[in-house]
């Protein structure tokens, strides 16, 4: 269990702008937006990095609450590491208090996996973050599954969720936000046993 005074950096990975807003690759932004609503904050431009941030507290009032900075890098996915590292340094956040929320091809749609460290699995946002600060941060991996047929991965992740997927999307984004809150409040093992599916 972490010291409640140490802040956490919760990074929703995605691409900026309305053209990308509903893409599979932007599910990290969707979760970050929901978490911002839950803590009663609005994203605003960061002074120290190319990103939008919300500062607040997460969890029950009292000793169980955690200081958090929610982050949406505005640099495009493959350059996420620069803004995230700048904010990690500015807020003096230990790397193991950084959580990346991102889409994951190798997990079926609707499934979640939480872990600490590991490879980037070809994900450009993780690749950029790992290059900038090493691999020892938490990941909340939102399963989007593999592209159908011969569709290229890049085309698949930059397409909107299908109409069938959208029926469950709000519930799954909500569950991912719950998983982030559980990770901060109760630690990785508890969050994994509750949410890894």
Report, as residue numbers or ranges, the catalytic residues: 25
Show the tokens assigned to 113. 């996996």
What 91-94 contacts at long range (C-beta under 8 Å, 24+ apart), as own/partner pairs, is 91/7, 91/9, 92/7, 93/6, 93/7, 93/8, 93/9, 93/69, 94/6
Asked whether the beta carbons of 112 and 196 are under 8 A apart, the reply is yes
Q: How many CA atoms lie within 13 A of 114 on its CB side?
A: 23
CB proximity list for 93: less than 8 A, separation 6 or greater: 6, 7, 8, 9, 69, 87
Q: Give the integer Cα–Cα distance in Å for 127 and 149.
A: 26
Q: Give the integer Cα–Cα distance in Å for 123 and 25.
A: 10
In angstroms, the Cα distances linking 59 to 68, 167, 185 are 10, 28, 7
Show the tokens assigned to 92. 């003096």
């Amino acid at each position: 269990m972490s010291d409640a005074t140490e802040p956490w950096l919760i990074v929703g990975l995605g691409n900026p702008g309305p053209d990308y807003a509903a893409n599979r690759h932007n599910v990290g932004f969707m979760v970050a937006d929901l978490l911002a609503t839950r803590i009663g904050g609005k994203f605003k431009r960061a002074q120290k990095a190319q990103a939008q941030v919300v500062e607040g507290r997460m969890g029950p009032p009292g000793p169980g609450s955690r200081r958090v900075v929610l982050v949406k890098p505005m640099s495009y996915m493959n350059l996420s590491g620069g803004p995230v590292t700048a904010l990690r340094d500015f807020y003096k956040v230990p790397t193991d208090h950084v959580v990346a929320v991102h889409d994951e091809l190798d997990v079926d749609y609707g499934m979640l996996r939480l872990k600490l460290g590991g490879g980037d699995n070809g994900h450009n946002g993780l690749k950029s973050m790992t290059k900038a600060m090493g691999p020892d941060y938490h990941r909340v991996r939102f399963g989007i599954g593999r592209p159908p047929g011969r569709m290229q991965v890049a085309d698949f992740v930059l397409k909107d969720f299908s109409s069938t997927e959208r029926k469950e999307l709000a519930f799954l984004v909500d569950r991912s936000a719950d998983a982030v809150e559980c990770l901060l409040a109760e630690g990785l093992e508890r969050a994994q046993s509750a949410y890894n599916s």
